[in-house]
Amino acid sequence: MKENVGNDIANSLDDPFKDTPDYICAWIFAECDTAERVGKAKMAYKGKTYSHALKMRAAISFHYNGLGKGATSWHMGRFGDWEGNPSLSNAVSRYMISLQKRKVISWKFNNIVPNDL
């Protein structure tokens, strides 16, 4: 990860903060999601499979588990600090469900609609 974001940001992600689940979603989006066309421009994306997205989430979950964040859901603690594993947050879970739905719709569309449309 340090090659992609630099040492400072990579090291700061080891101590997760409120926005860490959003960074996880953005990372998976950049690798696996499909971009919508805006006029003639189309955002660059890698378009990897949903299975790959699941592996990415599992890898980041394993990383935070190794840091002692465990298998508890991401939540605000009693004293206002964030606790748990950020990859198990509601935001990441909702994103993964929506990604799966978009991948299924995209697959169905690409396999039903003729190529010359």
**Threshold 0.85, pTM exceeds:** no
Q: What is the pLDDT at residue 56?
A: 95
Q: What is the pLDDT at residue 12?
A: 73
Give the 3-state secondary structure of residue 71: coil
pLDDT digits (tens, 9 = 90+) for 6-32: 677 667 778 898 999 999 999 899 889
List strand residue ranges (DSSP E) for 1-117, in order. Answer: 37-38, 41-42, 75-76, 82-83
- Residue 114 maps to a domain: no
- Residue 10 maps to a domain: no
- Residue 85 maps to a domain: yes
C-alpha distances in angstroms, 78 versus 2, 29, 59, 106?
32, 31, 28, 42
Q: What is the pLDDT at residue 105?
A: 80
- Count structural domains, the chain: 1
Range of the domain at 26: 17-109
- Residue 63 maps to a domain: yes
- Residue 89 maps to a domain: yes
pLDDT digits (tens, 9 = 90+) for 25-79: 998 998 898 766 555 555 555 678 999 999 999 999 999 999 999 888 999 999 9
